[in-house]
Amino acid sequence: MYPVGVREAGSIEARTADGWTLALRHYPARAGAPRRRHPVILCHGIMSNTYTWDLDDRSSFAVWLQRRGFEVYALDLRGGGASEKPGLFGEKAWTWSVDDYIRYDVPAAIAAVSARHGGRPVHWVGHSMGGIVMYGWLPLGEQGRVRSLTAVGSPAVVPHHMPWLEASGALLPLGEWLLSKVPTGALGPLSAPWADQPAVAPLHILWNLDNLPRGAARKLAAHGTADLPIAVLRQFFDSLVAGRLVSRDGARDYTGAMRAIEVPTLFVAGSLDHLGTPASMMGAFRMIRSPVKRMVVIGRANGAAADYGHLDLTIGESAAVDVFPVIHDWLVARD
């Protein structure tokens, strides 16, 4: 009903240390394009999958980079997209947390891709939580395995400018109960017919509807939604209240540890992003100590065709003009 791009791209697998199999869709560099040394891993955000980066022929950063000489790998984190999911009678369950993404999925993906390219470090481009998990992993060591980080709408912590979100904590037990009964991956397709309706206000925290191609919101809801484990929801909500993201056992302060990040980092913020606000992104920019870092706000005031929200940084009407070249030029300069 909501057609998306059909790719001939292959896929590779990564095995995590705790026994999960992750899928990475591979977009080989196009013949005739300038050859790049370091592969690129694209990582989606919370409750999402690789359609964040490859929705259709018009909105595909993965293909856009591929055509310009990069070897591109779009990662599905555990439980999402083509990666392994818990079965009805299997040993695995929907109980993982952000810690598991950081400790297991990130290094497994890097190891699998790097091994295919002579052990070279990778460029990591993360949208929303896809950048946050790299904030958490880099201070754990082995920063030399990452050539550069691009954080697209990835705040250090969830911003506090939406009081209703923090007040909704009273409803969190109900939300946890609902998530245990009805997976969000099933709710996405059900919401697709209304995803591009202005009256559905909560959805538009996710994007500036005026900046989306026709039908993009419906396509993303129908195909790009993954299940949200209760522990991940709880961990991010606790970070909103505490003002920092910490491990579930409280032993690791991921936000505070960002000061140890030395990898070259590009921060990309949308001028109308409610989740990765320019102010919250600037907080992350100031926190890391990398000597090579840059902050870019995509919006009309800075010459863009539109003011960008959260997801339209990857699937926006003019993202191929306003956003993609900024990231591409950064990767080339670091390559």
Would you say the C-alpha torsion 7, 53, 63, 134 has a positive or negative sign?
A: negative
What letter represents residue 29's amino acid? A
| pLDDT higher than threshold 60 for residue 236 | yes
Among 64-73, 174-183, 296-305, 313-322, the least confident range: 174-183
- Measured distance CA(253)–CA(251) in Å, rounded: 7
Q: Of 115, 112, 107, whose CA–CA distance to 138 is shortest?
A: 107
283 phi and psi angles, rounded to 5 deg: -60, -40
| Strands of 293-298's sheet in order across | 10-15, 21-27, 72-76, 40-43, 122-127, 146-152, 265-270, 293-298
Radius of gyration of the chain (CA): 18
Q: For residue range 194-233, what is the model confidence (pLDDT) as tens digits?
A: 788 876 556 678 899 999 999 999 999 889 989 888 889 8
Q: For residue range 296-317, what is the model confidence (pLDDT) as tens digits?
A: 999 999 999 999 999 999 999 9
**Per-residue confidence at 164, pLDDT binned at 50, 70, 90?**
very low
Among 3-7, 164-168, 292-296, the least confident range: 164-168
Average pLDDT for residues 64-72, to the nearest whole number?
97
State the pLDDT at residue 185.
Answer: 66
| pLDDT higher than threshold 80 for residue 176 | no
State the pLDDT at residue 112.
Answer: 98
Q: Exposed e or buried b for every residue in 12-36, given b needs 16+ CB within 10 A?
A: eebebeeebebbbbbbebeeeeeeb
State the pLDDT at residue 199.
Answer: 64
Its CATH class, for the domain covering 10-334, is alpha beta
Q: How many residues does the chain have?
A: 335
Q: Cite the DSSP H helix spans in the chain.
A: 61-66, 98-100, 106-115, 129-137, 163-167, 172-181, 184-191, 216-223, 230-242, 254-257, 278-287, 312-315, 319-322, 324-334
Position with higher pLDDT, 169 vs 236: 236
| pLDDT higher than threshold 90 for residue 276 | yes
CA triple 45-47-53, angle to 5 deg: 45
Q: Of 161, 160, 126, 74, whose CA–CA distance to 267 is shortest?
A: 126
